[in-house]
Amino acid sequence: MAGDGVQLLEHLQTPAMMVSRGQVRFANSAAKALLGAHIVGQDVRIAIREPRAVAAILSEGGGIARVTGLSTGGSVWEVDCRAVSPADRLVSLYDLSERVSVAKSHADFVANASHELRTPLANVLGYVETLMNPKAGGDEALRNRFLDTIRHEAHRMQALILDLMSLSRIEAVKHEVPSDRIEMVALAQEMAGESKPGSNVMVHANCETAVVTGDRGQLAQVLRNLIDNSLKYGKQGGKVDVALEATSTGWVLVTVSDEGEGISPEHLPRVTERFYRADASRSRAVGGTGLGLSIVKHIVERHRGRFDIDSRPGQGTVASLMLPLRREENAG
């Protein structure tokens, strides 16, 4: 390849190499960063220890091969080899890891959502078919019990669909920076006031106001989800504390604490995953969809904040988020 062509390859961010008669004659900076500077002058079979990639590079007309683990374990790469002369090959390496990961995440998401809907739907169909039997349908006590179950399962499916739609809307705007002026103390008091009658939800703050830049609907959803979680999984009749603390470093810390059974340490790293439940049977019994904390995490990340869950068995759970205060509020 002419000198100008080699210089052009050097400026590419895509790893690229020139291979001549099976030997690496040139590698741009990106290729050296990926495979090591020592590959220049090496036999390509040593430079890339992957049989499928080597076969594509050494084939008469070039070819394409997909390989794994070229950079890190689990990474996925496409090796694209083009013949530029009878002896010379231009080899380009494309990182497909993120694309493959996203595709897998989408496939897993659809599979999980389908599974979550399949069970209540099967229950509804089963009870409806039973009620269609004249003997069973004519028993008023049995009919009412089955109808209550059908209603419960229908509400469960409705909640799941609403959460799926909410998560979809959040992901659609995740790269858009929100711009509204939101007063968090008043919003927390409003969300606490929405709790069911008799709920013991208390709001405390070290400041009269804590203004952030955000999306009011989404931040309301964060507080609503966290308060609802604490009421569902906290101690029966126990209190839920919502505390807000404006810091001197320009953040507002919001914590929602309950007096429940807590979460075992092995579950904590995964509680914000979609459909993950630390206690699946209890979650479904109280109407949980397995998406609430995932929704919270996505919203907080969109607001350039931080979200964390701290819990110990028998000592309750504390959900905390930090959001940057609006700059104009800190002036002077």
Residue 198 shares a structural domain with residue 296: yes
> Are residues 143 and 270 both part of a single domain?
no
Same domain, 224 and 166: no
The residue from 41, 61, 95 where one domain ends is 95
The residue among 243 and 171 whose pLDDT is bigger is 243
Asked whether residue 187 falls in the same domain as residue 263, the answer is yes
What confidence score (pLDDT) does residue 137 get?
64
Contact 51, 70 (CB under 8 A): no
- Which of 156, 172, 188 is the C-terminal boundary of a domain? 172
- Over residues 79-94, the mean pLDDT reads 91
Distance, in Å, from the CA atom of 34 to the CA atom of 29, rounded to the nearest integer, reads 9
Evaluate if residue 278 carries a pLDDT over 80.
no
Tell whether 196 and 291 lie within a shared domain: yes
Q: Quick one: how many helices (H) and strands (E) in the chain?
A: 12, 12
Nearest to 262 by CA among 300, 299, 235, 296: 235
If asked whether residues 194 and 320 sit together in one domain, one would say yes
**Number of domains into which the chain is organized:** 3
> For the domain that residue 151 is a member of, what is the CATH number?
1.10.287.130
What is the CATH classification number for the domain harbouring 62? 3.30.450.20
| Domain with 248 in it | 177-332
Across the range 256-280, mean pLDDT stands at 83
Is there a single domain that holds both residue 232 and residue 322? yes
Residues 219 and 326 grouped into a single domain: yes
Per-residue pLDDT reduced to its tens digit, 114-164: 777 888 888 899 888 888 888 766 778 888 888 998 998 888 888 888 888
Give yes or no for residue 309 having a pLDDT over 90: yes
| Domain shared by 186 and 326, yes or no | yes
**Are 186 and 332 in the same domain?**
yes
Q: Which of 138, 172, 206 is the last residue of a domain?
A: 172
State the average pLDDT over residues 193-202: 86
How much is the pTM?
0.62
Q: Are 297 and 307 in contact (CB under 8 A)?
A: yes
- Indicate if 233 and 318 belong to the same structural domain: yes
pLDDT band at 1 (very low <50, low <70, confident <90, very high): low
What CATH number should be reported for the domain holding residue 296?
3.30.565.10
Q: Identify whether residues 209 and 316 lie together within a single domain.
A: yes
